[in-house]
Structure formats: structure tokens, C-alpha cells
Amino acid sequence: MKRPKTIGILTGGGDCPGINAVIRAVAKKAMLEQGLGVIGIEDGYDGLIRRKCRRLALSDVSGILTLGGTILGASKISNPYQYAVRKGTSVVFRDVSRRAIASVRDFGLDALVCIGGDGTLGIAYRLLQDGVNVVGVPKTIDNDLRGTDITFGFDSAVSIATEAVDRLHTTAQAHHRIMVLEVMGHRAGWIALHAGVAGGGDIILIPEIPYAIEAIVRKVRERDRCGKRFSIVVVSEGAVPRGGDVVIRKIVKNASDSVRLGGIGFVLADQLERLTGHESRAVVLGHLQRGGSPTPFDRVLATQLGVQAVDLVMNGRFGRMAAIQDGKITDAPLEIAAAGPRLIPLDLPLLGAARSVGTSFGDET
Ligand code: F6P
């Protein structure tokens, strides 16, 4: 294998705390230790399609470890294999992958580091099959990627959501209300489960365990009987009632993955107010979970994954993504990340622990 001289780096999909820490780690290791040139591709795959890139200097990646967002910009809608083009009043999808691949050649890239979730890494896998030397870094607050035990960004999102639960506790208690906190997570309940347990939520609703509203009402009444005249519900945006479906907030027409979830918190608060007689309020935490500075855990994880990605490139191990498994930094095949979300397994010990301390998942008969 020819020794790489120049690598590209892009950040696709939704942003999350820790992306800049990965960019910094990749660029610093590549430049300082390996003497490589580093090209930052702007706005995810859009930068390859529309040729937006810039050479990164050490000064560009200095001081960004603690910074939220991404200095390169991101895009959730730019898929080279399904690129949205406006045709009159409608949107059609075109395959512009040849243009994207030509950019990799024209930018002089010997390898491309793609930082992203299942969508971005799925596209990276297709680019690999089309001859591009790709390695991945798994990123998402949702923590739902296969092949890695934890994604960076998750710990930061959980810490923000936990603070929200803590704050809702005091106001719920003061007004004897039910407070429903809706958190992100897409089709997986990792954020709701971890923030719910960390914040001592009374009821945690996750997509993996369809809920029965009667079970939630029973839990609220049981708390009433014990003198606890308030309840905290932490609900994942993708949670579903038994036999029902998710609540959709919006369809993004020009995205290949077009469904945006959201709104279940308000549905539940209305139902619970009617069925329990408790005043109820809903709070949707939304993008607050994606913004701001990463936690120390995420900074450390992001740094390790970025360094690992450069090692993969230097060893010619394309088609792999940096990963953490059983506490060790390692790598996994890219296609695993593209093979659908990693949901919470129903035998996860944390579910049992939460039930042991009296948490309801809305499924008790
Ligand atoms: O995948 C990350 C995520 O934040 C999900 O938790 C959420 O469902 C989605 O992205 C929100 O997307 P958007 O930024 O397009 O509103």
C-alpha cells in the first residue's frame, strides 16, 4: 500500500457534543505524528458534491476540544446516492455519487475519515464499495449504533437530560403535578433510560417496551396513596403505546431519511391529566441535548476514537470504524453501523435494576 499523504475529514448527519474533539484528534495526530495534510470537507457529503473544502492548519484545530457543534459544518440531507433536487414544486432524488467520488480524487485525498451516525456511515460504506478509502468514527447522541458499545455525544446528552429531570422534580413536587419530559433518541430509548434512572424518574417510556396508559395511571395513583403527590415521566420521542404508533413531528421532504419524531410528551401529558386528575405539563428537551460543550467522558472518548481512526488509515484498514467494546478502543466493520439501529436489549441489567427500585416502564399488568 502507498503511504497516505493527504486525508479528508467530514462530519455528516446531526451534530453532537464531541465532534470537534474528534476533528482535533484526527488532525493533530495526522499532522504532528504522521506528517499528513488534512483537508476539511464542509457540510458533510454536501462538500464532496458541491466541492466545498479547506486545508486545515494546526491553528484551525487548536482550542476546539471543548467546543460544541462542528467547525466543518454538517448536513442531514446531503446523500450522494439520493441527492434531493428541486423540480418545479416537487423534490426528486438523483444519484450524484460519481461527482462526490471525483471530488475525493480532485482534492487529492488518499483516505476519507467520515464522522457520523448510521446514515453517514452507511453512505461511507457505499463509497468504500465504489473504491474510496474510507474509515468511520461513530457519532450520535442516540447511542444506537451497532459495532460500538458507546457513541460519543451520548454521555453529554444524558447529562443535559438528567439535569432537566432534576429541575422538573422540584417544580413537580411544589405543584403536585405530573411533569413529562420528552427526550431524543430516535427509535431507541438509551437517552430516556439513562437520564430516567440517573434522575430518579418514576415512569420511563422507551420504544423497546410499548406502554399501556392504564399502567402509568396505576403507578401515579400508587404514588398518590404513598403521599407522593407528583410524578415524573421521562419519555423517549420514539416511544409507542401498545398496538399504536410513534408521534411524528415533521416530514422533511428533501431528506432521504425524512421522518422527524416528536410530540408524544404533549399527548401523554393531556391523557394523564384527564385520567388521573393531576395537573400535567410536558417539556420537550429537543436540540438542547445536541448543543454545547461535551462532557469530560465524551472528550476523552472522542479523542481516543479520532486517534484510532488515523491508525486505521495508516494501516490501510479501510472499511473499518473506530469503536469501543468492553472498555477497549478497537475497530469494527463499517457495514455493521449501517445495519439498522442498536436497540436496548430487553435483558439489559439496567432495566432490571430500574424495576427493582420501583421504576415503571408502563408495561406492568
Ligand atoms: O439522531 C440524532 C437526532 O437528534 C435524533 O435524536 C432526533 O430524532 C433527530 O436527530 C432530530 O433531527 P433534526 O436535527 O433533523 O431535527
Does residue 42 sit in the same domain as residue 80?
A: yes
Atom of ligand 1 minimally distant from the CA of 290: 4
Where residue 256 falls among pLDDT bands split at 50, 70, 90?
Answer: confident
Q: Is 74:12 a contact under the CB 8 Å cutoff?
A: yes
228 plus 262 within the same structural domain: yes
Q: Do residues 146 and 102 share a domain?
A: yes
> What is the residue whose three cell numbers read 503511504?
3
Same domain, 177 and 285: yes
Both 299 and 239 in one domain: the answer is no
Residues 234 and 129 in one domain: no
| Number of helices followed by number of strands (H, E) in the chain | 11, 16
- Which residue type, as a one-letter code, is found at position 281? R
- The answer to whether residue 19 is domain-embedded is yes
pLDDT at 1 over 80: no
Task: Give the residue numbers spanning the domain of 160.
Answer: 155-290
pLDDT at 253: 87
Return the pLDDT at 255. 85
- Ligand 1 atom closest to 117 (CA): 1
Q: What is the DSSP letter of 69?
A: S
Ligand 1 first shell, C-beta below 6 A: 14, 76, 117, 140-142, 184-186, 237, 260-261, 290
Residues near 228 by Cβ (< 8 Å), separated by ≥ 6?
Answer: 202
Cell of residue 109, nine digits? 485525498
**pLDDT (mean) for 150-179:** 98
pTM over 0.85: yes
364 occurs within a structural domain: no
Residue from 226, 174, 230 nearest 203 by CA? 230
Contact 51, 103 (CB under 8 A): yes
| More reliable by pLDDT, 216 or 254 | 216
Is residue 159 included in any domain, yes or no?
Answer: yes
**In-domain check, residue 223:** yes
**Residue 21, C-alpha cell as written in the block:** 474533539
Does the structure show a pLDDT above 80 at 38? yes
Cα of 57 vs centre of ligand 1, distance in Å, is 31
Ligand 1: centre distance to CA 237 (Å): 10
Instruction: Kindly report, residue by residue over 77-132, the tens digit of the pLDDT.
Output: 899 999 999 888 889 999 999 999 999 999 999 999 999 999 999 999 999 999 99
- What is the predicted pLDDT for the residue at 215? 98
CA 124 to centroid of ligand 1, rounded, Å: 19
**Residue 354 within any structural domain of the chain:** no
Here the cell at position 37 is 495534510
CA 119 to chain centre: 11
In angstroms, the CA 180 to CA 301 distance is 31
Answer yes or no: do 74 and 185 share one domain: no
Residue 274 dihedral angles phi and psi, to the nearest 5°: -65, -40
134 and 15 both lie in a single domain: yes
Residues 131 and 171 in one domain: no
Q: pLDDT digit string (tens) for 302-321? A: 999 999 999 999 999 999 99
Per the structure block, which three cell numbers stand in for 295?
A: 462532557
CATH assignment at residue 202: 3.40.50.460
Is the same domain home to 46 and 74? yes
pLDDT of residue 134: 98
Q: How many domains does the chain have?
A: 2
- Domain contains 111: yes
Q: How many CA atoms lie within 13 A of 93 on its CB side?
A: 13
- Report the chain's mean pLDDT, rounded to a whole number: 97
Q: Which atom of ligand 1 is nearest to the CA of 238?
A: 8
Catalytic positions, written as ranges: 142
Instruction: List the beta strands (DSSP E) in 27-89.
Output: 37-41, 53-55, 78-79, 82-87
**Residue 187 counted as domain residue:** yes
In tens, the pLDDT along 324-335 reads 999 999 999 999
**Dihedral sign from CA coordinates of 148, 153, 154, 155:** positive
Q: Is 342 part of any domain?
A: no
Residues 54 and 189 in one domain: no
CATH, residue 98: 3.40.50.450
Span from the CA of 257 to the centroid of ligand 1 (angstroms): 11
